[in-house]
Amino acid sequence: MTEPRKPRRPALREPAVLDVMGEGVDPVADLHAAHESAAVLLGVGRERRDPEVTNRLLAVVDEVGITTLADLWAARPARSLPGVLYRLYVLREWVRAEPDQAARQYAAGTHFSEPNHAVAGADPTGPDAVRRVIDDILRGVFDGDFGLAMERAAAFARVVSAGRDNLVTRDGHLSGNLMVLADDLAASAKLWRAGALE
């Protein structure tokens, strides 16, 4: 009969040793970097209330790339500050990359989701209008009511989702993802207003 093994305390290793062992990722540091960078980005925009600063924050993806934001924020929960900001930037990038498709799906959804259309505020519903509204939503994150900006983005996603469900398109399977996004954004708006979105 073998003796039961006594539990060992975890060994504390220097970062250089962890790098050599292939364990260079520090999940705690990644967590802090995600939340701190999101808080700083939001704080800069909300404190300055300067249109030039807001425009630079809107274009942050152009400067650092969506992949960099994904590395920082994508793994965070959807109902967290970095998770929300990442999803808002991704939604904006999709509209900028596919404005005709976004406008077509949004226009098709307005007939099935009129209350959400009113909240999102994209009227008329052409490519330029949906680009303007998504920029306006993201602008509201930094120089307006953040809760309202999230609610508008949720409404926008719901209208597009309704449009996808009612158009015969090859990307209709994405509408479920948009509804999850919409639900997460709406829930995050409530968390923000309660002072609990971190």
Rounded Cα distance, 169 and 157, in Å: 17
Tens of pLDDT along 8-49?
555 555 666 556 555 556 788 889 999 999 999 999 999 988
Specify the pLDDT at position 89: 96
| Average pLDDT across the chain, whole number | 86
Confidence of residue 125 (pLDDT cuts 50, 70, 90): confident
Tens of pLDDT along 44-58?
999 988 899 999 999
150 against 124, higher pLDDT? 150
Tens of pLDDT along 130-146?
999 999 999 999 999 99
CA distances from 120 to 59, 76, 86, 154, 156 (A): 21, 25, 19, 8, 5
Rounded Cα distance, 191 and 76, in Å: 16
Using alpha carbons only, give the angle 176, 134, 47 rounded to the nearest 5 degrees.
120
CA distances from 50 to 34, 45, 106 (A): 24, 7, 30
pTM of the full predicted structure? Answer: 0.83
pLDDT at 154 over 90: yes
Q: Is the dihedral of CA 169, 92, 108, 114 positive or negative?
A: positive
Q: Per the omega criterion (within 30 degrees of 0), is the bond before 4 cis?
A: no
CA 173 from centroid of its chain's CA atoms: 20
Average confidence (pLDDT) over 56-63: 90
The tokens for 129 are 């209008």
The tokens for 2 are 């073998």
Specify the pLDDT at position 14: 60
